[in-house]
Structures are given as C-alpha cells and as structure tokens.
Amino acid sequence: MVAAAIIVDGRLLLAQRTRPPELAGLWELPGGKAEAGETAEDALRRELREELGIEVSGGDRIGDDVPLPDGRVLRAYRVELVSGTPVALDHADLRWVDGRELGEIDLVGNDRGWVPDLRLHLNGW
C-alpha cells in the first residue's frame, strides 16, 4: 500500500475517507494498493490520477513502514504535484493543512505515526 505526501506552499493535502464505516470521516494521505508489477511511483501516479485527478512525480520515502493487519505494508512517499487541482473523486472531502492543523485533525490510526516526519517537511519547506 502506498500513500502520498503532497505539499504545496507549506501545506499538506489530506483526504477524508468514505469507507469502510470504521474509517469513514477520518483523514488520510491519499493512496492505495500497488498492483502486480507496479513500482511505488507507478502506483502513486495511477492512484492519484484516479482519486484526485492530478499528475504527480517523484517518490522519496517519508516515515516508517506501517504493517497492516492483513500482512501488507503501508509506505508513505513525498511526491510533487505536476499538474491539475485535486478534486475529491473518491473521498468525502479534501483539505490542505499546515503543521499545526496536522496535529489537530482526526487522522486514520495508520497515518498518525508519520506526523513528526510530515511536520519536518512542512516546516522546512
């Protein structure tokens, strides 16, 4: 599983989940499942095109791997917004947050461990 940290002008893009019910309403770094044969960057480019209608590039790791209960691993990557304006095609809503807001928003549990790393990127930008 891959998740994207998209930072523009010192703000991080968060997306609000619609499913499953236990995660609906919580905020996440957008992303999804890498398909067989896809690199992480391929998967991020495809998922973000499908979910947000944007083109991204890059893919340096951010934060630690998060093991999921089903045996998969969730990894976050810093990507650059190349073109487009994000639209919530598969999420309930989108928000751009600064470092302070990132600490106050209700993130999905799996993404919470990345907050200190994300803050470094937000403040150092």
* Residue numbers at the binding site for ligand 523 (CB under 6 A): 1, 3, 28-29, 31-33, 74, 108, 110-111
Q: Considering the complex, state which of residue 111 and residue 121 has its C-beta at the smaller distance from ligand 523.
A: 111
Min separation Cβ 31 and ligand 523, Å: 3
How far apart (Å, rounded) are the C-alpha atoms in residues 20 and 78? 25
How far apart (Å, rounded) are the C-alpha atoms in residues 33 and 28? 14
Min separation Cβ 84 and ligand 523, Å: 19
Contact of 29 with 4, CB cutoff 8 Å: yes
Length, in residues, of the chain: 125
Q: Considering the complex, state which of residue 6 and residue 28 has its C-beta at the smaller distance from ligand 523.
A: 28
Contact of 110 with 67, CB cutoff 8 Å: no
Place of tokens 């976050």: 76
Q: Considering the complex, state which of residue 34 and residue 81 has its C-beta at the smaller distance from ligand 523.
A: 34
Min separation Cβ 107 and ligand 523, Å: 9
Contact of 1 with 68, CB cutoff 8 Å: yes
Q: Considering the complex, state which of residue 3 and residue 102 has its C-beta at the smaller distance from ligand 523.
A: 3
Min separation Cβ 56 and ligand 523, Å: 14
